[in-house]
Structure 1
């Protein structure tokens, strides 16, 4: 297939432009993405292996964490590793069909990761804050959540293949994604609905869920104090900081991507430089690196298992660190085990 021909699901502006960015710039991007890929693959493979090895980690809540690591790993393998190579050459040399594949895969696995974080936050809220008798997390409910995530996200990834928007080269032309810069009503309508379902709704659910958890913790602390008990203010501050860190990381990853898309819709005539168009997508590609750190490695139970696994059982973290948690935090964020706690 010739490099200038077009096909369904790909933007009409597929071109090879090796001089769109300085050669040194491509080399820097290639090196940064190489580091990104190495850390992402190591982190997420470790999460998957440790979760499968230790039965105590295989619980309904952790189904979403395992799903998050799998989707992040696939996004890295199908997206970041390819970008390392294409930046090294200075252009997307793999052709149109591979461009479609990369755009589809990164879009699909990226949305799966986003919605895994969303349902994880909601289920934590449901366990901690829902009234007695509410539907609690179970393996069946967890798998139903996974089916919803993969099917719902598949729709948004497949739609550009059938003409609702398209996949094509983006930014400095070394990676492919949704054709954000395509000026058409089909693309605008896709971007707007994509923005609502894959950013606004998840942000709303995550904000509501973690905000409610923090309120529950605060109310429990006040109740204990009124009854003459002792609380640990530092623990409350730690949980607040952890929740803010989660939300901030989520916004850093997805907000630039969303803002860029909306700018294209609001002001179609605005010129956006290739570098400015590239940065949001590279921010999104960093999420597989820090997601395991925020949601998994900061969990004491998982950290203990990971250290034991990496050292072949020679080093076991003292279980005393689990006992330093205050009683009220255990009751609020750990109603069963610390799989519900933010950390």
Structure 2
């Protein structure tokens, strides 16, 4: 652990350190802002937004326990903090990463309930939200803890400046863990997200058609914006986690394949970008949050939403209610 690797040019480590510094800077600022604004504004603390708050908290912890550390280790050119700290970093990044991942999954499913199920908005209560949060943290804790007891392990990866699950290790213990881990923490979430948002888009399209048949007016741009934002969510999710999954399962199904350290580093650092764009996608593009964030940052000097606007949106006529459904699906 204390031996400097010679597998990467010294300048390359400097570039990685700089990129991770930018990553940490935006990630910590974005997620801290989400948390602060949500705590300050009671109107943002609805049952659905509980999961967005949880997502921001886990992303913030992932950045503090993971990204900030790899800034220092890349600056030094090797993981100089010792084996125990390596295990801690691997555990923390793994734990908070899959908490974020499952928060996105439950968020997608609950939005499906709101839009596609009868009386969906009544099914989601604060109590149900906290119960689901408890499930997420306990379920993810299991998958983060078991490598500490010998089912797989934590260790350095790629260019040896960060630590995670030892997915490059060739052993049956590691193979069995990786297969069950990625079934539980990638394939199932992807399936739920795809099913949920696919049905959401189909439901919104059907609702638009019904409103038009009844003589109402629908804004096609609302539906188009919903489709685009759902695609952004899914694509961002896959960019972050698909390379990591592919590399890990490649080791399982083709153990003889030699993966270069630089190639092995790519999926690791892609997964560390998720805390940056998650708050942008899920909250910064939400008008209500965006207005509250501007007011918070400017200490109340700039107020973008006045009380009359809030009242007018709450008493919109029947043909204008479609956008409120879309607001439950995706940021606008």
TM-score above 0.5: yes
Contact 1:30 1:84 in 2 (8 A): yes
* Match among 153, 169, 193 for residue 182 of structure 1: 169
Please give the per-residue CA displacement for 1:181-227, whole angstroms capped at 9, x wherever unaligned: 10000000000001101011000111111111111110011111222
* Match among 120, 128, 148 for residue 161 of structure 1: 148
Matched residue SS, 2:160:
coil
Please give the per-residue CA displacement for 1:79-131, whole angstroms capped at 9, x wherever unaligned: 00000000000000000000000000000000000000000111111111112
CA distance in 2, matches of 1:152, 1:37: 27
1:123 corresponding residue in structure 2: 110
- Alpha-carbon distance, 1:147 to partner: 0.4
CA distance in 2, matches of 1:126, 1:133: 5
* Match among 202, 226, 229 for residue 216 of structure 2: 229
- Alpha-carbon distance, 1:229 to partner: 2.1
Greater shift in the superposed pair: 122-131 or 264-273: 122-131
Listed as ranges, the gaps of 5+ residues in structure 2 are none
1:304 corresponding residue in structure 2: 291
Structure 1 residue 256 corresponds to structure 2 residue 243: yes
1:329 corresponding residue in structure 2: 322
1:84 corresponding residue in structure 2: 71
CA distance in 1, matches of 2:25, 2:197: 31
Structure 1 residue 143 corresponds to structure 2 residue 122: no
2:35 corresponding residue in structure 1: 48
- Alpha-carbon distance, 1:284 to partner: 0.3
Matched residue SS, 2:123:
coil
Q: CA RMSD in A?
A: 1.9
CA distance in 2, matches of 1:273, 1:141: 46
CA distance in 2, matches of 1:25, 1:236: 44
Distance 1:134 1:221, change over 3 A: closer
- Alpha-carbon distance, 1:173 to partner: 0.1
Contact 1:16 1:173 in 2 (8 A): no
Contact 2:27 2:60 in 1 (8 A): yes
Corresponding residue pairs, total = 326
Contact 1:217 1:328 in 2 (8 A): no
Q: Flag the structure with higher helix content.
A: 2
Contact 2:113 2:120 in 1 (8 A): no
- Alpha-carbon distance, 1:17 to partner: 3.7
CA distance in 1, matches of 2:287, 2:299: 18
Contact 1:78 1:105 in 2 (8 A): yes
Matched residue SS, 2:216:
coil
Matched residue SS, 2:130:
helix
2:62 corresponding residue in structure 1: 75
2:268 corresponding residue in structure 1: 281
TM-score by length of structure 2 reads 0.94
1:16 corresponding residue in structure 2: 3
2:87 corresponding residue in structure 1: 100
Listed as ranges, the gaps of 5+ residues in structure 1 are 4-14
- Alpha-carbon distance, 1:332 to partner: 2.8
TM-score by length of structure 1 reads 0.91
* Match among 138, 162, 170 for residue 157 of structure 2: 170
2:184 corresponding residue in structure 1: 197
- Alpha-carbon distance, 1:328 to partner: 4.6
